[in-house]
Structure 1
């Protein structure tokens, strides 16, 4: 590690651990490269958490499979009781009896009850009553899960794929930018930037908090270029691209904002490795003035960069 970085004051561990594992502790999508072992195999909270956070396709598919499985179980129960205890117009073939049992179960579970099939015996009525109760509880649970998914505030911030080392006020600056991909309003947006370095002697990681030119903005209707000025006080002052690569540098980003729609605080995170830092380049403008005088922002240009002078290298 460069002697300049050895003299740099080190901040507390961010919570990722000091042991060096993969080259990055935080993936581009904000997930962590940390695997926790020894946890209980089943916890009710984890089940709720997975149902709330999984993708919509998987969630709806799981609900559909649960609906089919529940009806199949009760259909077999009705077949076991005997379809002669039901008033129906279907035949006595197994396929016809199974079909009637399944659709009677679906009508009972959803409390639709078309009336084409009705239970007559005590046991058939008891099982139908039990299924009706289960249907009310399961649909209440599904409604709660749907509400939880819709009401959970989620950040939809997109970060630039690359960070740049560009000229900034007579020095250089480490820069990345981000944009809100939703039409909702975010206010009081705060950014935190930390530098993670691997010590080759001990194979442990060190963490340095990098001060920002502007750590907070009050309004976020367009894009935001976050800048760490590399002046004489910066931990990156005098450091080269090769030095960052040798130290397996990782720039960890945490964004905190207040979602005006849900009136809740949201978070987003990402990281940039040394290979994802473009030296001697700057971002191209995203905002333009439209014909009607409105400011127009081209989100497709978030990753647009242009080369300047050759990058400073070892």
Structure 2
């Protein structure tokens, strides 16, 4: 493809993992009806207007300006031809009614128009009067009041026709949409990451040195959808944010710019992935508006991108280079792109993966129940009574129960203490003990801490064992 850089030059410039490609031309592309053509023309026709067609005649000037050039030229020629023939016929009719055509004139006879004997001579007199090219041989006399009135009417009517038709032709020639011919859009849009965020991007450029004053760009997503109430909306229009909140939609269009739409939870492309891109049907309409610097007229340029013209995992080639004292724009690479590493997942899928990754790596995600994880976590290392479970707090109420409770802890939780890093070192306790000193020894032996295996991480225990329900409540309100 012309304009595509050599692959070796691209590798030297961007790295070995990048490969330069052209715009979306090859391959089997689905052909379907577009809402807006690439040149900005809207494929919409109005029919069955009925009596509303008379509205076009009420705004005749705009109707003539909107017509195609061939119809404008035809109307221009027919208007002048018909007007000239009608006015020439009126001059010939005056001469006929006065008898100037059949009477042999003598020196004492004064006709209405001198030297008008037939229709060709009357037509020539009208042309001389309309074009003000002089009255050398044919002229109007003062003894013809009806000719004077017709002369005034001809002058007024000629001025109105000239102003209407010539003004219409001038406005049509100076229409600002011709200025839009020198505003370029990239043939394809790309989807890739920018600043760590997935973005939809396309490129705009200005071929003229004259600037577009107050240039602003807008994007519309046109896609059919069905509402929850069952209403089908064909060609539903949705706004795509291209920097309205940050002012990025206000362009200083001196050099080619890459317009970026950030795909987030508020974007219509929130669920769009590389896989689903092939099955989607949508059209992105781009509207660029600005004031022409030379004429001060508002100009609007339009284009559109269908799903076949959106390249996933591509980026535009740079076109700016620094020369001796100025910047040069190479428009031969304006439409070219190259591949970049891009995740094939949608923003929604990437967010779900990030939300699930903490749960997959969580220490609670194993085969043991939460009770086993936190069964020993309720024992206060410092011995504070208010943090002990109710069973351990009741040990101070009776001597007989203390050895049994300590023995039950030492025998039933041996396997559990092994899984928690030997936090509590249980020992064998004699079940027969009746003295107060023996009770104290039992408590010390049952709650003795293994200093070698204890760490700061083991000293911090949650007051309440977290469950999957509590974890899900923390994410309530987010889109995960």
Alignment partners' CA distance in 1, 2:71 and 2:332? 29
TM-score normalized by structure 1?
0.72
Unaligned 5+ runs, structure 2: 1-31, 102-110, 347-480
**Deviation at 1:253?**
1.9
| 1:311–1:142 Cα change, 3 Å | farther
> How far off is 1:74 after superposition?
1.9
Q: Distance in 2 between matches of 1:244 and 1:107?
A: 70
| Worse overlay, 276-285 or 151-160 | 151-160
- The Cα shift of 1:30 comes to 4.5
Matched with 1:209 is 239
2:192 corresponds to 1:169: no
Aligned residue pair count: 286
Cα pair distance change 1:233/1:61, threshold 3 Å = same
Aligned to 2:320: 287
| Counterpart-to-counterpart distance in 2, 1:105 and 1:244 | 69
Shift of 1:177: 1.7
Q: Classify 1:78/1:270 alpha carbon distance in 2 versus 1 (closer, same or farther; 3 Å).
A: same
Distance 1:298 1:102, change over 3 A: farther
Q: CA deviation at 1:102?
A: 3.0
1:138 partnered with 2:166: no
RMSD over aligned Cα, in angstroms? 3.7
Question: Distance between the aligned counterparts of 1:308 and 1:46, measured in 2?
Answer: 53
The DSSP-based 3-state class of the residue aligned with 1:257 is: strand
Distance 1:268 1:110, change over 3 A: same
- Give, in whole Å, the separation in 1 of the partners of 2:128 and 2:267: 69
Mapped partners of 1:271, 1:299: distance in 2: 20
- Looking at secondary structure, tell me which structure has more helix per residue: 2
Partner of 2:306: 273
Check conservation: 2:56, 2:63, Cα contact below 8 A.
Answer: no
Q: Which residue of 2 aligns with 1:35?
A: 46
Q: Which residue of 2 aligns with 1:106?
A: 127
Deviation at 1:176, TM superposition (A): 1.6
Instruction: Indicate whether 1:240 and 2:273 are aligned.
Output: yes
Check if 1:197 corresponds to 2:258. no
Name the structure where strand makes up a greater proportion of residues.
Answer: 1
Instruction: Using CA pairs under 8 Å that are at least 6 residues apart, name the structure with larger relative contact order, 1 or 2.
Output: 1
Distance 1:129 1:259, change over 3 A: closer
Q: 1:197 to 1:151 in 2, by over 3 A?
A: closer
Q: Using a 3 Å threshold, how does the CA distance of structure 1 residues 68 and 226 change in structure 2: closer, same or farther? A: same
Q: Is the 8 A contact 2:218 2:249 kept in 1?
A: no
Q: Does 1:303 pair with 2:335?
A: yes
The structure whose Rg is larger is 2
In 1, Cα distance between the equivalents of 2:187 and 2:135?
56
Q: Verify the 8 A CA contact 1:171 1:230 in the aligned structure 2.
A: yes
Contact 2:193 2:342 in 1 (8 A): no
Structure 1 residue 227 corresponds to structure 2 residue 260:
yes
Higher deviation after alignment, 146-155 or 207-216: 146-155
SS in 2 for 1:235: coil
| Counterpart contact for 2:176–2:300, Cα < 8 Å | no
Question: Which of these residues, 59, 67, 75, is aligned with residue 88 of structure 2?
Answer: 75
Looking at structure 1, the residues matched to 210 and 138 of structure 2 have their Cα atoms a distance apart, in angstroms, of 50
Q: How does 1:86-105 map to 2 (within 5 A)?
A: 86-88=113-115, 97-105=118-126
Task: Give TM-score, length-normalised by structure 2.
Answer: 0.50
Q: Distance in 1 between matches of 2:148 and 2:301?
A: 53
Partners of 2:237 and 2:164 lie apart in 1 by 44
Q: 1:194 to 1:242 in 2, by over 3 A?
A: farther
The answer (yes or no) to whether the contact 1:192–1:215 under 8 Å persists in 2 is no
Q: How many Å separate the matches in 1 of 2:253 and 2:147? A: 61
State the distance in 2 between where 1:250 and 1:284 align: 24
**Shift in CA distance, 286/80, structure 1 to aligned 2, threshold 3 Å:** farther
SS of residue matched to 1:267: strand
Partner Cα distance (2:88, 2:343) in 1: 71
